[in-house]
């Protein structure tokens, strides 16, 4: 891809007689912008995966918390039962002591039997008391674990709510931008221009017939008007990144043409649109990236005249900055 881009840029330099120094600078800037766009796409996908994983972990924590709640109720019931048994043992002990006093005058054998029973009851009571202490200690540990998990779950819920808030704000901003762009270009939507919103971006697609004559890179006056309207909107939204992509159909360039191939034509058309947006404009050029897609991203792959006409287009892709979302992710 980059080799083709370098070959295209070389052809552009030969045709437009751009000084080598400026050409090298533009070439480097274009490559850097392309890398940055790819990085942002990968980062956006990573963020979506992280959000799904976070939600999955939250579901697991909630399930575990519910189970601990059930265990806590069961342990409390067992503790109550042990306490009742302890009370009963104490009562039995008192009864035995009273019986012992009553039967002191009885036979020595009966007294020994009763004493043995008393000792066994005391041992059993001690074992029950130890078990009760262990159960109480285990219950305290479980309660602390539960409180820690509850705190972690609350923290994750807050984090998720923050992320969802930022995503909703980004989505609202994109929707508002789409409406603003649509309003600015209202008079051109029946002349080969469409404005759509998808994947958190606004796509302004302009048919070849609105911008260029067949085989030309000179923007038609009607297209110039549409681009100037769009430029005024972009001036008022400095936090929006702008990607301009030129697309052609799959018909090869005629031999002997001023353009080497469809790559050449798509790139030159994209840069022609950039020049109009920047002319007498307050748009910072740093916000803009251009790309030539040639014939390799058709909207309609059919080999018909109608399909090829749809594919001959220029797309202006508007993306909001994701600085706040990145800050939240890094803070995690």
CATH number (domain holding residue 205): 3.30.1330.60
Q: Are both 146 and 187 inside the same structural domain?
A: no
Q: Are 281 and 205 in contact, with CB atoms under 8 Å apart?
A: no
Could you give the CA distance from residue 208 to residue 211 in angstroms, rounded to a whole number? 5
Q: Are both 99 and 122 inside the same structural domain?
A: yes
Q: Are both 311 and 245 inside the same structural domain?
A: yes
pLDDT value at residue 84: 87
Burial of 28 (0-12, 13-18, 19+ CB in 10 A): exposed
Q: Name the pTM for this structure.
A: 0.53
Domain total of the chain? 2
Q: Are both 46 and 187 inside the same structural domain?
A: yes
Q: Are both 217 and 283 inside the same structural domain?
A: yes
Q: Are both 145 and 89 inside the same structural domain?
A: yes
Q: Are both 218 and 110 inside the same structural domain?
A: no
Domain that holds residue 316: 2-52+178-331
Angle, alpha carbons 325-330-332 (nearest 5°): 100
Q: Are both 196 and 95 inside the same structural domain?
A: no
Q: Are 242 and 230 in contact, with CB atoms under 8 Å apart?
A: no
pLDDT digits (tens, 9 = 90+) for 223-265: 999 999 999 999 999 989 999 999 999 999 988 888 999 999 9
Q: Are both 106 and 86 inside the same structural domain?
A: yes
Q: Are both 107 and 202 inside the same structural domain?
A: no
Query: Quick one: pLDDT band at residue 304, thresholds 50, 70, 90?
Result: very high
Q: Could you tell me whether strands 201-207 and 313-320 are parallel, antiparallel, or unpaired per DSSP bridges?
A: antiparallel
Distant-in-sequence, close-in-space partners of 67: CB < 8 Å, separation ≥ 6: none
Name the domain boundary from 145, 171, 197: 171
> Does 330 have pLDDT greater than 60?
no
The residue count of the chain comes to 332
Q: Are both 187 and 319 inside the same structural domain?
A: yes
Q: Are both 74 and 194 inside the same structural domain?
A: no
Name the domain boundary from 171, 205, 226: 171
Name the domain boundary from 138, 156, 171: 171
pLDDT digits (tens, 9 = 90+) for 163-204: 777 778 878 888 888 999 989 888 787 788 999 999 889 999
């Amino acid at each position: 891809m980059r080799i083709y881009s370098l070959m295209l840029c070389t052809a552009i330099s030969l045709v437009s007689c751009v000084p080598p120094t400026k050409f090298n600078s533009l070439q480097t800037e274009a490559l850097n912008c392309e890398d940055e766009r790819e990085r942002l796409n990968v980062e956006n996908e990573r963020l979506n995966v992280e959000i799904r994983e976070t939600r999955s972990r939250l579901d697991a924590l909630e399930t575990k918390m519910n189970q601990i709640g059930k265990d806590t109720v069961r342990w409390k019931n067992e503790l109550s039962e042990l306490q009742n048994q302890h009370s009963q043992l104490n009562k039995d002990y008192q009864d035995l002591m009273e019986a012992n006093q009553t039967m002191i005058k009885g036979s020595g054998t009966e007294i020994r039997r009763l004493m043995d029973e008393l000792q066994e009851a005391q041992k059993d009571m001690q074992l029950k008391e130890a078990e009760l202490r262990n159960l109480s200690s285990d219950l305290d540990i479980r309660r602390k674990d539960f409180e820690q998990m509850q705190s972690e779950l609350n923290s994750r819920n807050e984090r998720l709510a923050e992320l969802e808030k930022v995503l909703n704000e980004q989505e609202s901003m994109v929707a508002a931008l789409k409406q603003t762009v649509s309003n600015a270009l209202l008079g051109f939507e029946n002349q080969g221009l469409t404005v759509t919103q998808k994947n958190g971006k606004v796509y302004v697609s302009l048919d070849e017939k609105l911008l260029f004559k067949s085989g030309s890179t000179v923007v038609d006056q009607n297209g110039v008007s549409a681009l100037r309207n769009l430029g005024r909107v972009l001036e008022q939204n400095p936090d929006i990144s702008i990607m301009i992509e030129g697309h052609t159909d799959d018909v090869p360039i005629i031999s002997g043409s001023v353009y080497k191939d469809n790559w050449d034509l798509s790139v030159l058309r994209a840069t022609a649109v950039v020049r109009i947006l920047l002319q007498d404009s307050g748009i910072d050029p740093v916000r803009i990236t251009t790309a030539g897609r040639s014939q390799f991203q058709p909207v309609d792959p059919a080999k018909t005249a109608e399909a090829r006409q749809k594919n001959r287009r220029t797309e202006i892709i508007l993306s909001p900055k994701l600085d706040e979302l990145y800050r939240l992710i890094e803070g995690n």
